[in-house]
Amino acid sequence: MKEIVENPLHLKSVNHISLVCTSVVKSINFYQNVLGFFPIRRPGSFDFDGAWLFGYGIGIHLLQLEEPNVIPRKKEINPKDNHISFQCESMVAVEKKLEEMEMEYVRATVEEGGIKVDQLFFHDPDGFMIEICNCDSLPVIPLGGDMVRSCSRVNLQMLQHRQIHQIVKQDSTKIQNAIV
C-alpha cells in the first residue's frame, strides 16, 4: 500500500461547490427555501450570470448556462450518482417536509456493524442530486488507524489533533534516541 502523505496541499476545508443551472432564479429558490442556504455577495467583476449562496459551512456557486436547453436533465433519482450530502437532525421531519413540498425522493438505508443510516435522495431543479442523511451515527474509520466518532467537523479536528500529537511525540522520541 502506498504511504499516506498528511495533507500535502495544506487544505483547511471545503469552500464551495459550483453548479451549472438553467435558471439562477429557480436554483436560488431551491437552495434557499428547500435547503436553507442564504444568498451572499458575489464579485461584480464576473461577466456572466450566477449567484452565490452560503450555509452549513459551505458555499454553493450557481452558474447560469448560456444555452439552458443544452443541459440534459436527470429524471431518475439514482443514489449512486454524483451528489452532495447533508446531515440532518430528524429524518422524519425532512421526509415530512419533502412530502409537504410534493418533492419526489428515494429512500435508502445503509447498515454497517449494526449501525443504520437512513438516506433521502432528491434532485434540485436541474437534476443535481441532494442527499439528506443521519450519517453522523456512522463512524468514520480511516484505513490507516484511529477511529473518528462521526463525520462531524469537530470529531475530524480531534482526530487530526491526535495524529499531529502522535507525530510530534514520535519525532521527539527519535530526537531523544539520537541524543542518547
Residues annotated as catalytic are 131
CB atoms within 10 A of CB 83: 17
Q: Cβ(60)–Cβ(37) under 8 Å? A: yes
Angle at CA of residue 82, ends 103 and 13, nearest 5°: 105
> How does strand 115-123 pair with strand 16-21?
unpaired
d(CA 152, CA 51): 27
Tell me the residue ranges of DSSP E strands in the chain: 16-21, 38-40, 50-55, 58-64, 83-87, 106-112, 115-123, 129-133
Residue 64 burial (C-beta neighbours within 10 Å; 0-12, 13-18, 19+): middle
